[in-house]
Structure 1
């Protein structure tokens, strides 16, 4: 199956070079269209009353910079979507409707996290209808 419409989920941590490279390679091999997506949590980038660190708020420009650092032509021809949502899996699942494949990265979890927490990646994979390519980070 040729994957023409490729959705690439980026968390924005900066460890996603392999994810971006794999998606660009797939798009070039299939003459496909890339859409990069990031989901900001509702309060990302804001000050916390509890003085704990909230996740940063990413913009289209931030994602463009990460993709263009690897392949500027692909960055220029791709679509970048930023969504605000409390549920990352639900937001990615909705965005994946009509896509041929979803590409995302996954970091191995230590034993503690593996036994007590579900990963966001697992939640995404359980909720999307299209095939998923998981790229180890």
Structure 2
């Protein structure tokens, strides 16, 4: 389902580039300084947006690859407590679990698996920003790790 969403967003982005390119051309050829500035902005700003989307897609692919590998190894964190209907850890149970996985990740600072598990638990606890940072660290560590 997420891949279908990425494809739809990608197609919308292509359509956006075509339409924006047409407007940019019209503004750039207007001869007016404001029009030229707007035309330049219509070229630069979508490129920045495309770069940001590309980075997010790369992150998603790399995170999914590591998650699949960790799951195949049987290393994903087990559900230790009752989850809320949204799939989150109840707030009362979250802090001790996150702290335990954080301590494990600190003890094994070069192990991408420990950092990835921490990210999964942080995400389940509703700490999305921390989870993304931990998974980014796991991706970096996995790239730096020797071996296959």
Q: Is the TM-score greater than 0.5?
A: no
Higher helix share: 2
TM-score norm. by structure 2 comes to: 0.25
Give the structure with the higher percent strand: 1
Specify which structure has the bigger relative contact order, considering alpha-carbon pairs within 8 angstroms and separated by 6 or more residues. 1
